Amino acid sequence: MSVCPGDNIIQLYLQKQKVANLFELLKNLKRLETLVLRNFVDLPEHSFLSLRKLVTLHIDNTPLPILDVTDCIPSLHNLILSGTSTEEIQGISNLRKLQRITLLFLPLRHIPSGLNQMKELREITFVNLNLENLPQNWTSCKFLAKFYVEPVFFDGNEKLYFSDTLTDIDISNDIVYEFCSYQEFCIRMIEREKVTLPFHLKCIICYSLFRHPCTNSVGHTYCRECISRWMKLRLTDPQTNVVLRTKSIHPNNLIEILLQEFLEKHQNLYDPVSKILSNPKENLATNSSDPSYFPLP
């Protein structure tokens, strides 16, 4: 990597860097709006202090037990942590311009303190955290439009309060505290976006993309769960009603590969890095008090 003081870099995507003075170098950039740090061995404490103009920060798959953003990155609009070891986020209310927060696959147990008071917040996406509870009152987030949290221990009798800008809410309140796999997460994100699903990748029992596609003795493929549940009730083929001679099913590796290819093709719908890199305009700094910056439906 070669970064020179005074350089004008808008997006920087770094993997496994071991540059001792990385953040010293970044500090000297004239302009740096998006920073993606993936697969780092460690990040020095307070390393983000110097990044005064950053708009989007994504840290992926990197040890980072505590993220302390007190006194740093006042310009940040988008914060994304995925697969980091973060148990605690401190000082979030200092990110006064924060509009989107995405936390995926972290051992985080509590919502960052003060998050539900943040005036500019538009989007919350929390998946597979260790959350024990949720603050009830979100009405201070006047522009909040999307609230996607799963899973969480959530007592159905407790109410959550939002401002009326909220159009998209999804909270998994299953009693069973079930973590989804990364593939399951990708599939759910794609299905939320109402992408047309190819016929050959759809299960005709659940009408969704295949989960663990398995083929029965007459050569038809269904989700493993779907066909197992079906055969507990009747020993027929769901597609043709033919009576089956055996309950045996086997994983369909070809369909699994095609499914993977389909997921990769739509990576920008679930992978925050692809999302950022495929749509740089969305991450440019604008006047954050202007609600049109994030198009409200």
Residue among 138, 134, 78, 74 nearest 108 (CA): 134
Q: Is 152 in the site for Zn ion (CB under 5 A)?
A: no
Q: Is 277 in the site for Zn ion (CB under 5 A)?
A: no
**Given 79, 141, 203, 231, the residue binding Zn ion (CB under 5 A):** 203
Which range, of 30-38, 120-128, 177-185, 201-209, touches Zn ion by CB under 5 A?
Answer: 201-209
If the CB atoms of residues 104 and 203 are measured against Zn ion, the closer one turns out to be 203
Tell me the site size for Zn ion, rule CB under 5 A. 5
Sequence-distant (6+) residues with CB within 8 A of 138 are 116, 144, 147, 160, 161, 162, 163, 166
Q: Is 160 in the site for Zn ion (CB under 5 A)?
A: no
State the binding string over 205-244 for Zn ion (x if CB under 5 A, else -): xx----------------x--x------------------
CA distance 239 to 245: 16
Interhelix angle 182-192/253-265, rounded to 10 degrees, is 60
Least Cβ distance, residue 111 to Zn ion (angstroms): 33
Binding-site ranges for Zn ion (CB under 5 A): 203, 205-206, 223, 226
